[in-house]
Structures are given as C-alpha cells and as structure tokens.
Amino acid sequence: MNWIDYLSDGILHITDFEGYDHMVYLIALVSIYDYREIKRVILLATAFTIGHSLTLILAGLELIRPNSGLIEFLIPVSILLTGLSNLRYAKRHNTPVSYHGVRYLIAIAFGLIHGMGFSTYFRMIVDRGESIVQPLLFFNLGVEVGQLLIVMVFMLITFLFQGLFRIQQRDWILFFAGVTSGIAGMLCLDTWPW
C-alpha cells in the first residue's frame, strides 16, 4: 500500500456508516455550537484529533496494547457523557459557552479512547514488516480530513435548520443531545464488557 491508500483508508474509516460511533461522537461534540462558531468547532475537532493521534501512534508502535472490549465500551460512554453534558448546556443556551477550555481538554481525553479504537483497525490494514511511520501519518491525516468533512456537513445542516428554518438553538441542542445519548446508551448495552 502507498500513502494515498492509507490516507483514503483513514477517510473511509471515519466516514463509514458501519462504524458510525465516531460520527455520533463528533456530532455530540459540536452540536451545541451555532453555525457561526465554525472556528471553535474546527478547534474542538482538532483537539479530538490530538488525543486520538497520540494513542493511535502509541498503539501502532505497540507501546500500548489496549483491551479492545473495554475500548469498544468506553467509546459509547464518551458519547453518552458528551450528550448528557449538552443537556446541561441547553438549559443555559442564552449564555455563551464559558467552559471552552474544559471542553477542549475533554475532547482530547475522549480522543485518547477513540484513538485506541482506531488502532485496532489500523493494525489490520498495515503490512507486516513495513515501517509504520508513513502509514500512521497518512492514516491519521485521512481520519482528520474525514472528521472535518463530517463536521462541515453537520455545520451546513445546522445553518439550514437554524439559519433558514429558524429552529431555536436550544431545541437543536436538546434534539441532538437526546439522539446522541440514546444511541450511546444502546451501544453501551451492546458493548458491555462484564
């Protein structure tokens, strides 16, 4: 495989509807933001990337060996916690998000968990005996490109509903907090490791 294959694998992995849990997390992460806050949304997605890049690299280099069953459970837990925190924000939707710094740190921390999930897939596609530096770099870059595509599409949908159809931001937040939390709850039950 060459670099373009790893780049496209990264994009396809994050945008694959069969592995929709990462998409649901991204939606939960950015759904409290107005469509005019695109800079904050991109920074938040990048904070998530920083977290998952670190554990993807560590797992790719086999410096850590995560328990895949536990990781598959913690991914929906991260979605559930993000969705529930959005419910809290919806109550105060008329005040600015005052905890951006904390939200960035949480995105990095949850990115660490998701990166361990990405590592399982990455180990399946990398050729044995091949140096993993270039594949890791381009796979991770592909994941970031895919994430930004997902976030941009979601923000376009946000613009359509909030900007054109005048859906109130509080209602938007409540709807997506409920949807993402509900999906995450079902995934938690499906992946319960004990």
| DSSP collapsed to 3 states, the chain | CCHHHHHHHHHHHHHCHHHCHHHHHHHHHHCCCCCCCHHHHHHHHHHHHHHHHHHHHHHHCCCCCCCHHHHHHHHHHHHHHHHHHHHHHHHCCCCCCCCHHHHHHHHHHHHHHHHHHHHHHHHHHCCCCCCCHHHHHHHHHHHHHHHHHHHHHHHHHHHHHHHHCCCCHHHHHHHHHHHHHHHHHHHHHHHCCC
Share of the chain above pLDDT 70, in %: 95
Mean pLDDT on 153-180: 94
Residues 6+ apart with CB under 8 A from 147: 14, 22, 26, 45, 48, 49
Of 76-80, 122-126, 149-153, 155-159, where does mean pLDDT reach its minimum? 122-126
Show the CA angle centred on residue 142, arms to residues 15 and 102, nearest 5°: 80
pTM: 0.91
Closest to 48 measured CA to CA, from 20, 92, 79: 79
How far apart, in whole angstroms, are the C-alpha atoms of residue 73 and residue 113? 10
Residue 95 predicted with pLDDT over 60: no
Domain boundary assignment for the chain: 3-191
What value does the CA radius of gyration of the chain take, rounded to a whole number of Å? Answer: 17
Mean pLDDT on 88-117: 80
What pLDDT sits at residue 187?
Answer: 97
What pLDDT sits at residue 60?
Answer: 83
